[in-house]
């Protein structure tokens, strides 16, 4: 039984690298695995990034950078701290670009928390109670209402949690996936530690600090 060999051109590898920012060798391997299919190669690289990120998630991130971003004629400002494992990575253009993109995203999308686990019990219970009341009011039995609420709570997380939000520059990628891609490329764990968002005229700024030791709200 013969196998078909697909020749991967340097131009294809270059194009995939420009699309994903992944190393050249990883791009070539992904294209080979995808038999030259560019979209499938992108999926392969994203999965690889998530896999690498999961393996490195427990590693200590004590270096990094604090970056500011001012938007809309000085009406909105953001400070964000993103951590990595070494000062070497913190000084790379890839890491600096990631931190800038996250700060810009926070300015535009106004998240309230860093991640799901940071959502307070009060916020979680309030939203859940509202969704249950809406479901019951529509005539659904309690057990059906509970299932409907689960889906709405995922949407709630996507709206208020930074890591769950679709990246403003690429809606097909969440912020957590964007970070995972950089982890796969840079080879170090990367984590958003905290951020503050200020808007002229608001009663108070949004300040969010990740709390990794807290249990996830369910």
Per-position DSSP letters for 121-189, written without gaps between them: HHHHHHHHHHHHHHHHHTT--HHHHHHHHHHHHHHHHHHHBGGGSEETTEEEEEHHHHHHHHHHHH-S-
Q: What is the pLDDT of residue 55?
A: 62
Report mean pLDDT in 10-residue bins for the chain, 218 residues. 68 80 76 88 74 63 92 91 94 96 96 93 90 81 78 90 95 90 87 94 77 39
3-class DSSP state for residue 50? helix
180 and 148 housed in the same domain:
no
How many domains does the chain fold into?
A: 3
Phi-psi region at 118: left, alpha or beta (left = phi > 0; alpha = psi -120 to 50): alpha
Single out the residue in 56, 74, 97 at which a domain terminates.
56
CA dihedral 58, 27, 67, 112 (to 10 degrees): -60
The whole-number pLDDT of residue 216 equals: 34
Residues 34 and 78 in one domain: no
pLDDT score at 40: 87
pLDDT at position 26, please? 78
> What does the buried/exposed string (b/e) look like for 16-32 if buried means 16 or more CB atoms within 10 Å of the residue's CB?
bbeebbbeeebbbbbbb
Instruction: Clarify whether residues 77 and 126 are in a common domain.
Output: no
Residues 66 and 112 in one domain: yes
DSSP 8-state secondary structure symbol assigned to residue 113:
B
Judgement on whether residues 71 and 124 belong to the same structural domain of the protein: no
Q: How far apart are the first and last CA of the chain?
A: 52
Same domain for 98 and 71? yes
pLDDT in the model for residue 83: 95
Q: What is the pLDDT of residue 2?
A: 44
147 and 169 share a domain? no
Residues 101 and 186 in one domain: yes
CA distance 128 to 122: 10
pTM of the model: 0.71
Q: The domain spanning residue 175 has which CATH number?
A: 3.30.479.20
Indicate whether 34 and 112 sit together in one domain. no
**8 A C-beta contact, residue 74 and residue 94:** no
Edge-to-edge order in the sheet of strand 76-84 = 63-71, 76-84, 191-199, 206-209
């Amino acid at each position: 039984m013969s196998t078909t060999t697909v020749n991967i051109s340097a131009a294809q590898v270059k194009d995939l690298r420009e699309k994903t920012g992944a190393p050249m060798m990883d791009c070539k391997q992904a294209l080979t695995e995808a038999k030259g299919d560019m979209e499938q190669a992108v999926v392969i690289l994203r999965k690889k990034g998530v896999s690498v990120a999961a393996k490195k998630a427990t590693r200590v991130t004590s270096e990094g950078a604090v970056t500011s971003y001012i938007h809309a004629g000085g009406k909105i400002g953001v400070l964000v701290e993103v951590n990595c494992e070494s000062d070497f990575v913190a000084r790379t253009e890839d890491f600096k670009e990631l931190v800038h993109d996250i700060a810009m995203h926070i300015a535009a999308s106004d998240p309230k928390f860093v991640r799901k686990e940071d959502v307070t019990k009060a916020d979680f219970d309030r939203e859940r109670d509202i969704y249950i009341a809406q479901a019951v009011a529509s005539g659904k039995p309690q057990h059906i209402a509970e299932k409907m609420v689960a889906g709405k709570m995922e949407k709630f997380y996507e709206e208020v949690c930074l890591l769950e939000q679709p990246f403003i520059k690429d809606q097909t990628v969440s912020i957590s996936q964007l970070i995972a891609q950089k982890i796969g490329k840079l080879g170090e764990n990367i984590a958003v530690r905290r951020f503050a968002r200020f808007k002229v005229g608001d009663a108070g700024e949004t300040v969010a600090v990740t709390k990794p030791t807290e249990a996830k709200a369910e």
